[in-house]
Structure formats: structure tokens, C-alpha cells
């Protein structure tokens, strides 16, 4: 009886080995159910389990004990959700004297309050005006110079001047964020005719990479100031902008990208396949579109140090202007960039498998958690296909496949 109770406790509070409040050991649904049934069949209310024969752990009939597995997984998902917590700011182990990283620490002692107040004066009274001046200067020069270069005839001179102007302006904007960037393995930097893919934490990922090399940007056409910048940039360099009605046309997007990479004189395309910003702790599912083209892919891993300023953009909470002001009022933006060796699609490998292989390489190099979940869950619900997949797995255990039934 005592042994059965211990086994039951082991079942309900099974130790696992992975990061999180509830760490999870990778086991299949069938293995979990077998263990639950095995422990359930070895117990009896009067302690006479040895004299009775319970159902086989691998029985294909429904057992009430199976519900424990689904109940436990549901509770685990509520207590330690590994998806939605990727869409909120990363938690810090220590306070970095920024009110937004912890609203309580600055009231612990008089000394901390004084240090925090001094930091506010330095960040908002000195650093923020200086950074705003640099950012406005960089954007203004980019618009003016790219517009002027746009009047030149296509050729080497235009391409040379365009690259120099883009690099200069992006580096001025990087100074406006006081970004301290360490680039690793520069020999693997993306080359013309290729596609650069990177994990996505913030809109500033673009200037972080573009301050070390020129890229052809891909995105939707906007209005206002952003639209003005896009129009001036495309005059000097063949960036790829889409109308709102064209973005959902996958075939049109793929054709435009394919036509670009076929021209080896054009700059490499910069794409963030996750499609949304993740909080610098993990890499989520890569959309397969950019991996269907058949071009050489240059993976890049970006990892920010949140101790000096959180670069993650929570777009559901902060607008672009508010976010940029928060970045410019941080201590600094510190990050590391790793250029990984180029990767190509292997024989017999489909676009999804290729995308997962590239994603795994980026996660491994950046020290990020590799997740299979779609970043679209940030704004949408779980797809029915995910639910149906679990139902199919359980139904196969209960009734078996068609082959198993025909053989019996």
C-alpha cells in the first residue's frame, strides 16, 4: 500500500528537466498513458492488488485514469505557459535602476531612491535629448541623400554611393540608441543574391544588422513619415515594398523575392521569418515562405542584454513612438550578433524542415529556446489543427490504425 502511494505521488509530481516553473521531460502521449495505467493497475483499495489482474497498460480501451494525463497537462499549461510569456518583457534577476523593469525596488531604501532619481536626471535630461538629435539627424540625412542618389543613372556609382549613405545613416541612428554591438564571425556575412534570416525581438533589429552591411528590406508600404522614408530609400536601392492588398498573396510575394535573388548584383534580402517580435528568450516558428525560394540562406542570431535596456517591443501595449522613446531613455542597447555559415536546402528536404533546421541553428547559437509554436498566437487563437492532432494521437491509441484492425 505504501509502495503504491509513493508511485502515485511520483506520477502526479514527476520531476522533469527543462527551464520553467514546471520543467518537462520530452515523452510521448502513449508512454505517459502507459505509465499512468501501469501505476493504476498495480494498486487496489484493500491492498490485494497482487491477487487481481488489472487491465494491461497497453490496452486499447478507454480507462478513466487517462483523464489524469489531460488534466495534468492542462494545469501545467496554465501554471507555466511556455507560449504567451514570450510576448511579455523578460524578467530580470536584478534591478537596473529603470522604473519600468520594477516599480517597487526604488522605494526599498533612501539610497536606492536617490540613485534612481539621479539616473532619471541623466537619462532624460542628458542622454534622451542627445539621442533624439542623433536619430533625427540620421533619418533626415537618409531621406535627403537617398532622394538625391535616386536621380543618378543605374550603375556602379549609384550602387556605391547608396551603400555608403545607408551605412552612414544607419550608424548615426545606432548611435542615437547608444547601441553597443558585438559582431561575431563576419566571414559569414550575407552576400548578394542570398536571403538573410534572423530572430526578431525589436524593430531596431533592422538597423542593428544594417549598420554592419547593406540589405534589401522587405515590408508593407506605410503612410506618413514611414512612407516618406520608404519612398526615398527605394529610389536609391531596390527594396521590396508591397501594397496592403498584395501582402496576403503568397505567390506574388514569392515571385518578387525569387526575381530579386536571381540577380546576383542586388543586395541580400533581410527577412524575419517569425513575423512578430519575441521577447529575446526564444525563437518561435519560422514561416516557410522565404525557404521555398531555393536561394542560399544566411542565418543570423541576435541576442540582447536586458540588464541595460529591454529591446523587446510589446506592440500590443506600446505604440512605435512610445517604444522608441523608451529605448532612447534606457541606459544602452547592448547586443551580440552572430553570422552563421550559409545553409542550403538539402535533397528531399521540404521548406518546413529547412526552416526548422535554420531556426534550430539560430536558437543554439544565441542561447535561445527553440519553440515550435507560431508567433501568430500573440494575437490569435490556437488553430484547430493543433487540437485535432492531439485527438488523433489519442484515438490511435484507443482504436489503433486501420492496418492494426484489419490484421486482427
Q: Is the pLDDT of residue 136 over 50?
A: yes
Q: Which helix (H) or strand (E) holds 360?
A: helix 351-366
Give the torsion through C-alpha atoms of 220, 280, 360, 84, to 10 deg: -80
Nearest to 215 by CA among 250, 253, 261: 261
Contact criterion met (CB below 8 Å) for 339 and 183 = yes
Q: Which helix (H) or strand (E) holds 12?
A: helix 2-12
Residue 125: all three cell numbers together:
535630461
Distance, CA of 311 to CA of 351 (rounded, Å) = 30
Q: Which residues pair with 391 in a beta bridge?
A: none
Whether residue 324 contacts residue 132, with contact meaning beta carbons closer than 8 Å, is answered with no
Q: What is the pLDDT of residue 266?
A: 87
pLDDT for residue 9 is more than 70 = no
pTM for the whole structure: 0.72
DSSP structure string for 132-193:
HHHHHHHHHHHHHHHHHHTTSPSSHHHHHHHHHHHHHHHHHHHHHTTEEEEEE-GGG---TT
CA distance 372 to 78: 18
- pLDDT value of position 364: 93
Question: What is the pLDDT, as a whole number, of residue 172?
Answer: 94
pLDDT at 8 over 50: no
**Which of 136-150, 300-314, 376-390 comes out lowest in average pLDDT?**
376-390
Amino acid at each position: 500500500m505504501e509502495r503504491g502511494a509513493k508511485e502515485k505521488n511520483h506520477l502526479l509530481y514527476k520531476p522533469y528537466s527543462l527551464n520553467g516553473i514546471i520543467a518537462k521531460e520530452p515523452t510521448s502521449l502513449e508512454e505517459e498513458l502507459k505509465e499512468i495505467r501501469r501505476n493504476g493497475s498495480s494498486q487496489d483499495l484493500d491492498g490485494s492488488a497482487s491477487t487481481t489482474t488489472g487491465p494491461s497498460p497497453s490496452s486499447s480501451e478507454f480507462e478513466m485514469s487517462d483523464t489524469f494525463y489531460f488534466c495534468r497537462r492542462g494545469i501545467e499549461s496554465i501554471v507555466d505557459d511556455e507560449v504567451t510569456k514570450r510576448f511579455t518583457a523578460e524578467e530580470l534577476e536584478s534591478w537596473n535602476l529603470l522604473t519600468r523593469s520594477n516599480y517597487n525596488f526604488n522605494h526599498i531604501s533612501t539610497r536606492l531612491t536617490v540613485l534612481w532619481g539621479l539616473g532619471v536626471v541623466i537619462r532624460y535630461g542628458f542622454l534622451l535629448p542627445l539621442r533624439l538629435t542623433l536619430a533625427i539627424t540620421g533619418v533626415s540625412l537618409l531621406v535627403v541623400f537617398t532622394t538625391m542618389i535616386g536621380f543618378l543613372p543605374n550603375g556602379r556609382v549609384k550602387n556605391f554611393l547608396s551603400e555608403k549613405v545607408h551605412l552612414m545613416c544607419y550608424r548615426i541612428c545606432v548611435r542615437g540608441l547608444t547601441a553597443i554591438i558585438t559582431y561575431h564571425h563576419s566571414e559569414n556575412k550575407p552576400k548578394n543574391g542570398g536571403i538573410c534570416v534572423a530572430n526578431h525581438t525589436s524593430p531596431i533589429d533592422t538597423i542593428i544588422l544594417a549598420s554592419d552591411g547593406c540589405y534589401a528590406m522587405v515590408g508593407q508600404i506605410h503612410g506618413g513619415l514611414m512612407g516618406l522614408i520608404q519612398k526615398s530609400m527605394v529610389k536609391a536601392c531596390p527594396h521590396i515594398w508591397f501594397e496592403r492588398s498584395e501582402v496576403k498573396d503568397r505567390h506574388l510575394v514569392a515571385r518578387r523575392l525569387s526575381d530579386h535573388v536571381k540577380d546576383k548584383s542586388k543586395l541580400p534580402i533581410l527577412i524575419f521569418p517569425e513575423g512578430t517580435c519575441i521577447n529575446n528568450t526564444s525563437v518561435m516558428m519560422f514561416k516557410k515562405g522565404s525557404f521555398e525560394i531555393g536561394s542560399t540562406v544566411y542565418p543570423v542570431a541576435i541576442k540582447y542584454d536586458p540588464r541595460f535596456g529591454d529591446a523587446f517591443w510589446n506592440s500590443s501595449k506600446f505604440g512605435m513612438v512610445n517604444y522608441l522613446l523608451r529605448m532612447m531613455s534606457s541606459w544602452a542597447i547592448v547586443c551580440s550578433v552572430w553570422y552563421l555559415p550559409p545553409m542550403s536546402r538539402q535533397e528531399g528536404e521540404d521548406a518546413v524542415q529547412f526552416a526548422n533546421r535554420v531556426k534550430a541553428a539560430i536558437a543554439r547559437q544565441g542561447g535561445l529556446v527553440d519553440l515550435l509554436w507560431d508567433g501568430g498566437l500573440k494575437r490569435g487563437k490556437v488553430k484547430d489543427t493543433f487540437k485535432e492532432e492531439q485527438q488523433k494521437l489519442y484515438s490511435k491509441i484507443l482504436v489503433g490504425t486501420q492496418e492494426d484492425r484489419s490484421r486482427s
